[in-house]
Chains A and B, each alone.
Chain A
């Protein structure tokens, strides 16, 4: 186990521990066996995640290059299964029920999209080993990969899981940027997206529209859609500098904060640990992201480079959207905070991604 592997493991494990403590706290006052089992499950998932991390970090990441299409097909298949026979839960069909847990394919899709795009943009010309992307025209640089991204995105948004859908689109744009796709194409894509926005708006479900409107003005429906955002802001704001202390956050303990163990775990943490605690947490995330980016910049292999920086960016985007959402600075979209939020799929996938990072770091000298 080299130093980078250990550093990343420690940072990730610390976040996981903070997450488990917060989950324990947020379900502490809820009655019922299910609730008391939540944090135990998260411990199991974390342990599993760490095991997978240690395993993946020893699997050559080039294997994912070979498996890209298999993974892509698998992801599409899972999404399709959810689409056909998803388990109805919380009004959303996002899970596939497996033996003793529910699996959320959209989490995997995020990582698969990074792998897929990394491979797509790192193909080299057979003649001079230069990257093909530099010579791509509009179709091959933008439209073709977008079609590959759009298919799973459609299924995800249709689940409906707007948050993950948005994340995948963000991943696409980030990968375009990282892959040195010409700025004018990216600009074109952005412009097109803005043009399509009204159409997209029309396709949104009512509650999704409501959430977006509420983000602009939480006051329009303080007891309905605006409730969560108001309660979450109160939780973060009332924590102050030092926080209210573990198990003493009134917003979460007294159930004013909905979804407190999943999407709004950050608010629980902020309420109980205060600004100082959050600074520690954000530093840990920042550390992980910096590790990813520095691995990317140290790697000479383009696939590895794109994969590492893509993983870093996925983390950044998820942390940003989730934390901003918890502080009322972004609309409420169902999106977990990596490693903190309760949810096996998210935890596993994040550890897999981190394991891949470590492996890229190990093999960077090979090429």
Chain B
């Protein structure tokens, strides 16, 4: 009797076991399978390294060094406070600070919180060794962007930082994700797609102790492509040294190819600080400085060209045939145009074109401007590549502006007056150019009539791409036009009273034009744009000083640069 009961009990016992088995193995199978995989499958990311940015000589201006990120997985640490405390001790951070970082970085229990970035290998090893005592700590190698030469060519290079909202919306379709490091400004931004590394990783099976048992899958990380610039590091550094901390910029270009040899801004910054979490204050200082430290003045700064513009007016007048080199005007210190008296900076008397360029006589060019009219000046300005970006491979290049009677009528509802023409003829009024455009304009005289396209990228991933950028336009100018202006530009230096007379003493024959562009209420901008050596030009240079007082200051810097270049046998 009772044995039968026991038999029944046995059946129930086994049914109980079977139902338990179904619950685990069938109903909740998915959950346990996931848990089992989570137990033993780990993803070890292997970040690739971002492409390097090299100078023309092959020196790394932007490089990578290996550092480590220390992260904490909240759900895998049972004693969070203790883990944070021991991490704080090893990493030498204040406990409050580390708590704050954890709170700030916390997203969800399973997402690793970065406690410290860019830890050197010594500290990373210290953390690794004490890992047994701290649960949930992950050490991830992370190549760190470094800029071995500090702020050298900072504006050309740009900097790296965590992707911002605007860039993310723009780039999400190209596979960019939150927290990605992307380039801001310069080559880092423009060529981010090439420079960007492709992170790989290992998916491995680990045992209970976290020891890797076997590799399940592997995707090799892909390093970004290296980009070689036309920038000559030696020249760049020389120029930066001369420029010092002045508010201004220098551009040196090869007049034939358009390759940028140096592009320096006096007000610069260290691109490395943007990746260093410990230098937030420095970043804040850079971003909020009222002198716009991040601005690459050579391509983004828009300034009135002042007397530099006279080269274009002279060329326009010669081309139109309304002026010959022998045409003379008398400068009496000022000229009445309409109801206004337009002053010259001196009293030059009777001068021909070459003298007028050499002395930068305003009255001569007022008259020349009035002779050929505003539309001709506007048209020739465009022929020299003004009023539109030069298409150099740097982001956010400004186009500049050249006024015209039509524009004035359409946008200001006013008629064009002769006074406007006079102003325009000496590069004042509404004329706005970038220093790079001026270099490009000067190159036309240096290379006898070709409008080059400036470029700065020489090679991508070892492949020479400079040819793709060559698209120089042969300007349909008479040879005599170019020759006459060239002679004028040379006279600027050689004429005893030339505005750049101080350059005459140089061992290298220089030609060029100075400019002092008036700014309402502030000190004038100082310009010097020229090329050298005069007979076989190899360099076009533009020195620009924002609110630098006068062209003389800029010419002084140009002299210093050329002197040093000569000394270093670079010419």
Chain A residues proximal to chain B, CB less than 8 Å:
29, 174, 177-178, 180, 222-223, 231, 233-241, 250-251, 253-256, 270, 274-275, 278-279, 282, 285-286, 289-290, 293, 296-297, 305, 309, 312-313, 316, 319-320, 323-324, 327-329
Other than A250-B205, A256-B208, A279-B21, give 6 A-B pairs with Cβ distance below 8 A: A178-B2, A237-B28, A254-B206, A254-B208, A256-B40, A297-B3
Smallest Cβ distance from B298 to chain A, in angstroms?
A: 60
Residues of B within 8 A of A324 (CB): 16-17, 20
Name B19-77 residues within 8 Å CB distance of A: 20-22, 24-26, 28-29, 31-33, 35-37, 39-40
Nearest to A221 among chain B residues (CB) is B78
B21/A238 in contact, CB under 8 A? no
Residues of B within 8 A of A231 (CB): 39
Nearest to B135 among chain A residues (CB) is A223
Q: Is B462 an interface residue (CB 8 A)?
A: no
Residues of A within 8 A of B126 (CB): none
Residues of A within 8 A of B7 (CB): 290, 293
Q: Is B122 an interface residue (CB 8 A)?
A: no
Q: Is B132 an interface residue (CB 8 A)?
A: no
Interface size of B by Cβ–Cβ distance < 8 Å? 35
Residues of B within 8 A of A236 (CB): 21, 24-25, 32
Question: Can you give 13 contacting A-B residue pairs, CB < 8 Å?
Answer: A174-B6, A234-B35, A240-B29, A254-B39, A254-B207, A256-B40, A274-B25, A275-B22, A293-B6, A320-B16, A324-B16, A324-B20, A329-B16
Nearest to B32 among chain A residues (CB) is A237
The answer for the CA separation of A346 and B24 in the assembled complex, in Å, is 28
From the candidates B2, B14, B29, B206, name the one contacting A282 in the complex (CB within 8 A).
B14
Identify the interface centre among B32, B36, B78: most chain A CB within 10 Å of its CB.
B36
Residues of A within 8 A of B4 (CB): 297
From the candidates A237, A289, A290, name the one contacting B25 in the complex (CB within 8 A).
A237
A286/B78 in contact, CB under 8 A? no
Residues of B within 8 A of A29 (CB): 207, 213
B17/A233 in contact, CB under 8 A? no
From the candidates A237, A290, A297, A305, name the one contacting B29 in the complex (CB within 8 A).
A237
A316/B13 in contact, CB under 8 A? yes
From the candidates B3, B16, B22, B32, name the one contacting A234 in the complex (CB within 8 A).
B32
A254/B40 in contact, CB under 8 A? yes
A178/B39 in contact, CB under 8 A? no
Q: Is B18 an interface residue (CB 8 A)?
A: yes
Q: Is B566 an interface residue (CB 8 A)?
A: no
The answer for the CA separation of A358 and B390 in the assembled complex, in Å, is 101
A240/B25 in contact, CB under 8 A? yes
A250/B36 in contact, CB under 8 A? yes
Smallest Cβ distance from B41 to chain A, in angstroms?
A: 8
**Contacts A270-B25, A275-B26 known; A312 to B207 CB distance under 8 Å?**
no
The answer for the CA separation of A250 and B38 in the assembled complex, in Å, is 11
Residues of A within 8 A of B371 (CB): none
Nearest to A289 among chain B residues (CB) is B10
Residues of A within 8 A of B36 (CB): 234-235, 237-238, 250-251
Cβ-Cβ contact count across A and B, 8 Å cutoff: 123
Smallest Cβ distance from A210 to chain B, in angstroms?
A: 16
The answer for the CA separation of A316 and B6 in the assembled complex, in Å, is 10
Residues of A within 8 A of B208 (CB): 254-256
The answer for the CA separation of A72 and B131 in the assembled complex, in Å, is 53
Smallest Cβ distance from A35 to chain B, in angstroms?
A: 14
Residues of B within 8 A of A274 (CB): 25
The answer for the CA separation of A289 and B9 in the assembled complex, in Å, is 11
A278/B25 in contact, CB under 8 A? yes
A254/B32 in contact, CB under 8 A? no
Nearest to A279 among chain B residues (CB) is B18
The answer for the CA separation of A236 and B2 in the assembled complex, in Å, is 34
From the candidates B6, B40, B213, name the one contacting A313 in the complex (CB within 8 A).
B6
Smallest Cβ distance from B303 to chain A, in angstroms?
A: 67
B213/A241 in contact, CB under 8 A? no
Residues of A within 8 A of B10 (CB): 286, 289-290, 293, 312, 316
Residues of A within 8 A of B31 (CB): 237
Residues of B within 8 A of A290 (CB): 7, 10
Nearest to A239 among chain B residues (CB) is B25
Nearest to B209 among chain A residues (CB) is A255
The answer for the CA separation of A254 and B206 in the assembled complex, in Å, is 7
Nearest to A327 among chain B residues (CB) is B20
Residues of B within 8 A of A177 (CB): 2, 6
Nearest to B31 among chain A residues (CB) is A237
The answer for the CA separation of A279 and B13 in the assembled complex, in Å, is 14
The answer for the CA separation of A23 and B29 in the assembled complex, in Å, is 24
The answer for the CA separation of A312 and B8 in the assembled complex, in Å, is 13
The answer for the CA separation of A29 and B39 in the assembled complex, in Å, is 17
Residues of B within 8 A of A282 (CB): 14, 17-18, 21
A305/B33 in contact, CB under 8 A? no
The answer for the CA separation of A236 and B35 in the assembled complex, in Å, is 11
The answer for the CA separation of A183 and B171 in the assembled complex, in Å, is 80
The answer for the CA separation of A17 and B2 in the assembled complex, in Å, is 33
The answer for the CA separation of A319 and B13 in the assembled complex, in Å, is 10
B3/A250 in contact, CB under 8 A? no
Smallest Cβ distance from A282 to chain B, in angstroms?
A: 6
**Contacts A178-B6, A297-B3, A312-B6 known; A320 to B32 CB distance under 8 Å?**
no
Residues of A within 8 A of B33 (CB): 237-238, 240
Smallest Cβ distance from A181 to chain B, in angstroms?
A: 10
B3/A309 in contact, CB under 8 A? yes
Smallest Cβ distance from B19 to chain A, in angstroms?
A: 10
Smallest Cβ distance from B25 to chain A, in angstroms?
A: 4
Nearest to A297 among chain B residues (CB) is B3
Identify the interface centre among A222, A234, A240, A289: most chain B CB within 10 Å of its CB.
A234
**Contacts A178-B6, A238-B33 known; A254 to B24 CB distance under 8 Å?**
no
Residues of A within 8 A of B16 (CB): 320, 324, 329
The answer for the CA separation of A312 and B29 in the assembled complex, in Å, is 32
Smallest Cβ distance from B228 to chain A, in angstroms?
A: 48
Residues of A within 8 A of B207 (CB): 29, 254-256
**Contacts A250-B39, A282-B18 known; A237 to B24 CB distance under 8 Å?**
yes
Smallest Cβ distance from B433 to chain A, in angstroms?
A: 69
